[in-house]
Structure 1
Amino acid sequence: MDIIKELNESWGWAGLQALEVVGENDFGNLIIKDVQGRYWRLMPEECSCAVVAPDRQALDVLSANQDFLQDWYMAGLSKIAREHCGPLTEGRKYCLKIPGVLGGEYKAENLASAPLHELIRLSGDVARQMQGLPNGAKVKLNVVD
C-alpha cells in the first residue's frame, strides 16, 4: 500500500497534499511534508491531522521541544502496548480500539495493533464525519460488514 496515496485519499479533504513522510512513531503518528513545504502531524488515535510547522526551520525548533518530544515518543504507552499486544510486525502500529476523540481511554484494555494504512483510512473517515461537531457532541457508531 502506498502510504502517500492513502494519506491524500483519506486526509485530502482536510487540505493535506502529502509529499513524503519524514517521521513516524509506534502509534502511527506521522510527520508529513506537504507539497507546499509545510509539516503536518497525523494522530490516528485522536483522528486528527493538522499543520504543526510552516517550514523545515519551524519543524527543527519543534523537534527540540521537550513537551513535543514526550508527546511524540509516547514512551510509557508504547511500553504498555508492547507488554499487552506484543512487538509490532511489519506495517503495523499500535492503536486505540476506540479512538480518544470518541472517548477511548489510553489504557491496556483499549490497545491493539493494526496495519498503518487502515489507521490512516479510519482516522480520516471518522474525522471527516465529525468535522463541525461541537465538543461533547454525542455520536452513534454504526458498524457494518
Structure 2
Amino acid sequence: MIADINKAWNWKGFNAIELIRTNDFGNVIFKTDKNEYWRICPEEVTCLKIAENQSDFEHLLADSEFIEDWEMANIIESAKSVVGELQSDEKYCLKMPTLVSGQYEKSNYGKVPFKELILFSGSLGKQTENLKDGQKVKFKFKK
C-alpha cells in the first residue's frame, strides 16, 4: 500500500514510508520520511498533512472531534447497510466524490478495491489541484 500511496499522491511532495491507520471508508494515515503524518480522504479527494511529528500526532489522537471524523462510524454503518460487508481488499467509497458534488447518502455508497480507491483519488486530485470553483474540467483516466 505504501508504494500505491507514493505512486498516486507523492506529487504533493512527500515520501510515505509507513502506514499508520486505515478505516473502512478508505481513509489512510501514513508517516513520511520527514516523520510528518498525512491523511488521505479519497471521498473528498484530499491528502493533507495532519501532524508535523509524532508528538503532534499523539495530541491529535486525543482530540474527540478528530477521532469522530476519523472513525466515520455512522457513515460506515450506513454504507454497510446498503452495499453489505467488505471483502478483505475492499473499502467503502462514494461513487461520486464530494469534489464533483457527491453526497454522503445511501444512493452514492459503493465498495471498491482499496488499491483502486487510492490510485483513483490521487489521479483525480492531481488533475484538479489548481481548479477554481466553477471551472470546467475534462478528466482523463488510464487503466
TM-score normalized by the length of structure 1: 0.93
- Please report how far the alpha carbon of residue 142 of structure 1 lies from its aligned counterpart in structure 2 after TM superposition: 6.1
Tell me, yes or no, if the aligned pair for 2:39 and 2:49 is still in contact at 8 Å. yes
Describe the SS at the equivalent of 2:14: coil
Stretches (4+) displaced over 2 A: 135-145
Mapped pair 1:110 → 2:108: yes
Describe the SS at the equivalent of 2:34: coil
List runs of 5+ in structure 2 lacking aligned partners: none
2:29 maps to which residue?
A: 31
Describe the SS at the equivalent of 2:103: coil
Q: Structure 2 vs 1, CA of residues 17 and 107 (structure 1 numbering), >3 Å: closer, same or farther? A: same
TM-score normalized by the length of structure 2: 0.94
- Please report how far the alpha carbon of residue 102 of structure 1 lies from its aligned counterpart in structure 2 after TM superposition: 1.0
List runs of 5+ in structure 1 lacking aligned partners: none
1:127 maps to which residue?
A: 125
Length, aligned pairs only: 143
Describe the SS at the equivalent of 1:36: coil
- Please report how far the alpha carbon of residue 134 of structure 1 lies from its aligned counterpart in structure 2 after TM superposition: 1.5
Tell me, yes or no, if the aligned pair for 2:21 and 2:28 is still in contact at 8 Å. yes
| Aligned-partner Cα distance in 1 for 2:115–2:14 | 16
Q: Structure 2 vs 1, CA of residues 143 and 19 (structure 1 numbering), >3 Å: closer, same or farther? A: closer
1:96 maps to which residue?
A: 94
1:86 maps to which residue?
A: 84
Picking from 14, 23, 38, the partner of 1:16 is 14
Structural RMSD (CA): 1.5
Q: Could you give the per-residue CA deviations for residues 73-110 of structure 1, whole angstroms, max 9, x where no partner exists?
A: 11111110110010111110000000111110100100
Same amino acid, percent of matched pairs: 37
1:48 maps to which residue?
A: 46
Mapped pair 1:63 → 2:61: yes
| Aligned-partner Cα distance in 2 for 1:122–1:4 | 15
